[in-house]
Amino acid sequence: MYEIKEAYIFETFQDGKVMWYKDSYERHCGYHGCIQGEDGRESVQNALIYPTVITNYDEKNSNGKITARCIKYRQIIKIDKKKKSADELRYWEVILKKIVKKKKRIATAFMTSSLDYAMINTRIEKVIYPEKYKKHG
């Protein structure tokens, strides 16, 4: 990851370099404190280079026309085995967005948790890495 005048540039596992404009990054820091500062940006970079799961989906307007293609990078950082029905995962989620006729950029990044089976919304997201998503643990 490096910095230019108006943006931070991050390397990704399979999508090359992506920008996160500084004004957008600073706005998101107010929502997700975990991404603030050098350590936060380093954690986002690690999630983009060493993902556990990558999914994609299309964003559509009210007419059903595709307005953007989104890619979610997830990096599992902790597995809590206390649940009987499923493991609870704590993970980084970084969402890249490619608006039609524009370059890919980071839309948001945050740390979250969910049950293992709920980490991916299988109704709209297609797993593109790894080929077969397996339960981690």
Over the stretch 53-84, which tens digit does the pLDDT of each residue have?
Answer: 999 999 999 999 999 999 999 999 999 887 67
Q: Against a cut of 0.85, is the pTM above it?
A: yes
Q: Answer yes or no: are the C-beta atoms of 79 and 56 closer than 8 Å.
A: no
pLDDT at 137: 40
* Alpha-helical runs (H) found in the chain: 22-31, 37-49
**Cα(81)–Cα(38) distance, integer angstroms:** 31
In the block, tokens 């990096």 appear at 75
> What integer pLDDT is reported at residue 134 of this predicted model?
56
What is the percentage of the chain residues whose pLDDT exceeds 90?
A: 78
pLDDT band, residue 133 (cuts 50/70/90): low
- Phi, then psi, of 80 in degrees rounded to 5: -105, 115
Mean pLDDT value across residues 37-53: 96
The single-letter DSSP state of residue 7 is E
- Give the pLDDT band of residue 100 (cuts 50, 70, 90): confident
Count CA atoms within 13 Å of residue 106 on its CB side. Answer: 32
- Does the pLDDT of residue 35 top 80, yes or no? yes
